[in-house]
Amino acid sequence: MTTSYAQVNGVSSLAVVQEETPAELAPGTVRVSITFCGICATDTHNYTSGGQIPASVFGHEWTGVIAATADDVTGLPVGTRVIASVGAACGVCAQCQAGHPGHCDLAFAEANGVAPGSPTHGAFAQSLVVSQRRVMPVLDGLSDVEAALVEPTAVTFHAVRRTHQDLGAIVVVQGAGPIGLLTAQHARHAGAGQLIVIEPNEERRKAATDLGFTDVLAPGEAARNRVLEVSDGLGADVLYECTGVAALLQPSAELVRRGGTLSLLGFPMTDSTVSYGDWQIRELTVIGSLAYTRDDFLGAQRAIADGSVKVAGLHTGTIGLGELAAMLDELDSGRTAHAKVLLDPSL
């Protein structure tokens, strides 16, 4: 039995290759037949950089069905719908032993594709063999499309959770791509009193409006004036920076009130220049957020299941393996109408 998968083999170049699937699975592993795998900016960066990100991360937003399990695996019968996740805190790594299970070294390594036994490719594939730690059953009621969008929902759930946003806070979300739209919904669910979305792209502004956000503005003086207006001239209590544009880091900080919080989700691929003195004088709290814990996946699923966070509308296209390179080129160009594209390896 073989499986086909996409592999980056050069700068902005990939190949669809085949490999034999193991007849017997290693202890503690499962084989998942992939239903959908979402494409995100990390995948685009990996493609355009020629594979500078671990290979197993190229295709990490996946859902599928358990096709086979090792003999020692229990609780995951064949046919179970599952999503990509990370394991629970291991209890034995340095972080866990020091009393910081929320930053378990093993779970963090799993999230970043460098844990022992990480697969040699990601889920832009027909099937994937992973540790049983890496899968979580899909909650009843979630569609396959919703399940495929749990991973980015968990990223944003984790960030809002880490930020400890106060009830009634004045919140700004910078950027209305998939991560910004999910963050805005979590922030609303967490009790934001006033929420302003700033986004230059007209189609993405419409997507935010369609999700029920009423203060949706293009960047510029009007957006800044609106933030000052609703805050009596102080600035936002919390700003979630979701663009990853290095040049926006200082301007974003300047929209935050003295004593407020700048929460960083977007990941710039270049260095940022900021005014450390400005941040210090105004006593800003800066929260960095990357990846997630297993709890975040469960919380994200529950938020989708109860309708607090709507994800299906972010899905704007479905492609097959043979179309992946062209879609990555389109997404990298910045001239695309797509929000979240899912790959269906059966196409």
Q: How far is it, in rounded angstroms, from Cα 88 to Cα 94?
A: 15
What's the average model confidence in pLDDT over 275-285? 96
Token pair, residue 186, equals 């979590």
Longest distance between any two alpha carbons in the chain, whole Å: 66
Mean of pLDDT over the chain: 96
3-state helix, strand, coil in the chain (%, to 5): 35, 25, 40
Distance CA 249, CA 241 (A): 8
* Per-residue confidence (pLDDT) for residue 270, from 0 to 100: 87
CA distance linking residue 59 with residue 336, whole number of Å: 20
Q: Which residue has the tokens 């990370």?
A: 86
Q: Tell me what pLDDT residue 1 has.
A: 81
User: How much is the average pLDDT of 234-247?
Assistant: 96
Residue 36 has pLDDT above 90, yes or no: yes
What angle do the packed helices 150-163 and 178-189 form, to 10 degrees? 50
> 334: pLDDT confidence band, cut at 50, 70 and 90?
confident
Q: pLDDT tens digits for 212-233?
A: 999 999 999 999 999 999 999 9
pTM of the model: 0.95
Q: With beta carbons less than 8 A apart as the criterion, state whether 5 and 16 touch.
A: yes
Interior CA angle at 222 toward 206 and 239, to 5°? 75
Q: Which of 239, 217, 223, 233 is nearest to 170 (CA)?
A: 239
Token pair 């609780």 is found at 75
pLDDT at 337 over 90: no
Q: Is the pLDDT of residue 240 over 90?
A: yes
CB neighbours of residue 93 within 10 Å? 18
**pLDDT > 90? residue 180:** yes
Strand pairing of 81-84 and 135-137? Answer: antiparallel
Distance (Å, whole) CA 122 – CA 125: 7
What tokens does 66 get? Answer: 């358990």
Query: Tokens 């493609």 map to which residue?
Result: 47
Query: Nearest to residue 36, comparing CAs of 346, 344, 321, 347?
Result: 344
- The answer to whether 242 touches 218, Cβ cutoff 8 Å, is no
- Which pLDDT belongs to residue 336? 85
Q: Which pLDDT score is estimated for 170?
A: 98
Closest by CA position to 74, among listed 147, 135, 1: 135
- Whole-number Å distance between alpha carbons of 323 and 325: 6
Q: Which domains does the chain have, with CATH numbers?
A: 2-149+311-343 (3.90.180.10), 154-288 (3.40.50.720)
Average pLDDT over residues 100-128: 96
- In whole angstroms, give the CA distance from residue 240 to residue 245: 13
Is residue 188 predicted with pLDDT exceeding 90? yes
Residue 50 pLDDT exceeds 90: yes
**Confidence label for 129 from pLDDT (cuts 50, 70 and 90):** very high
Average pLDDT value for residue range 274-279? 95
Cα gap 65→153, rounded to integer Å: 20
Alpha carbon 280 to its chain centroid, in Å, reads 30
